[in-house]
Amino acid sequence: MKPRRFGYGYGYGYGRVRRAAALLLLLLLCLCLSSLFLLLLHGSSTPLEPAAAAAAAEARVAEAQAEVEEAPLPPGNSKVAFLFIARNRLPLELVWDAFFRGDKEGRFSILVHSRPGFVLTRATTRSRFFYNRQVNDSIQVDWGEASMITAERILLSHALKDPLNDRFVFVSDSCVPLYNFSYTYDYIMSSSTSFVDSFADTKAGRYNPRMDPVIPVENWRKGSQWAVLIKKHAEVVVDDEVVLPEFQKHCRRRPLPEFWRDWDRPIPAEAWKAHNCIPDEHYVQTLLAQSGLEEELTRRSVTHSAWDLSASKDRERRGWHPVTYKVSDATPRLIKSIKDIDNIYYETENRREWCTSNGKPAPCFLFARKFTRGAGLKLLDSSLIASK
């Protein structure tokens, strides 16, 4: 009798070969089908024309802008509208970000006037509070021209659309807050008046007699453009159709450089005869005086600027602009010296303005300028501003 042969060795090996062959055929079939699909897809597609490609790119940009989320602002009561006037980006955005984080009750709104077409997105600002806060009808602004006061009116007109906005603060892109949000809010809201730096301008050359009789010389005022307006006065500025046209026609800066760097070049002989009128230093002040509203003003600014540059050896710091504080200037001593100011003297009126808040003695200034980005960040890192 022949011994039984178990099919374990031969049969098992043959089964493994058959299964491997089947898997290989399946893989080849998948590769063939994939290749055929790709060939068909490639043959049915055509390259985009340049115009179509450009349109598609613009559509993607528009879609990205539409997806920008605005900073969540919870509903609140009366709000302070911060109206930023900027060239392009906001160099001190992180300083203001820290400032606005101090509010948990939705007591502020933000609007930014920048160059036409500039959009505040994640690509152009690092603070969520500024996402999509630019006005959509901005204009090109030139320093010393009436376009500056037009930009102010544009900001006010947008801010007045929100019925909760009750105070309106003009802010420079080089400005920093000296105190935290709560202190600043209480300081501004405790006053029933606007804070407008306004005084009689007695120097020859600024007032143009051609403004008379629409704007008589006795109503001519001068001061800083960085004002805080109550709603009534903001509406007066936006509704003005009398004073603004006179400024556009007769208030223009003298056609000279801000300061003469090239001292060998002669100054034009007739240039000094021109009226040197800087519109933003006169418009709001003169309009409110013209409207009989000076009794409703606290006639000082809450924004500090350093104009006394007579001792400066740096020509860059002499001219028609206030000093710009650099990183080396950003010290505790500087901030303390500004916070310690409690009165302002107006020589042309022989008037001293003692600063108060809610009926009590208080620092004069809530904000300060002009600071470079590096100087502002140094102050923020040192907890010298926006946190106390």
Residue 14 falls inside a structural domain: no
Identity of the residue numbered 362: A
Does residue 365 belong to any structural domain of this protein? yes
Domain-located, residue 331: yes
Range of the domain at 146: 76-255+271-382
Residue 275 lies in a domain: yes
The pLDDT of residue 77: 81
- With respect to residue 8, please indicate whether it lies within any of the assigned structural domains: no
Task: Please report whether residue 55 resides in a domain.
Answer: no
Residue 216 preceded by cis peptide, ω within 30: no
Residue 64 belongs to a domain: no
Residue 228 has which token pair?
């805080």
HSE-CB for 92 with a 13 A CA cutoff = 30
Half-sphere CA count of 140, side-chain side, radius 13 A: 0
Side-chain-facing half-sphere of 147: CA atoms under 13 Å:
15
pLDDT in the model for residue 276: 77
Q: Which two tokens stand for residue 262?
A: 């090239």
The stretches in the chain having pLDDT less than 50 are 1-12, 14, 41-50, 53-54, 56-61, 63-71, 73, 257-264, 267-268, 271-273, 311, 315-318
In the chain, the number of structural domains is: 1
- CA dist 191 → 185, 303, 342, 372 (Å): 10, 16, 17, 31
- Structural domain contains residue 44: no
pLDDT at 254: 67
Query: Which of 90, 91, 123 lies closest to 374 in space, CA to CA?
Result: 91
pTM: 0.77
The CATH number of whichever domain residue 350 belongs to comes to 3.90.550
How high is the pLDDT of residue 106?
A: 93
What is the widest separation between alpha-carbon atoms in the chain? 140
Position 24 scores a pLDDT of 66
Distance (Å, whole) CA 383 – CA 388: 8
In the prediction, which pLDDT does 53 show? 42
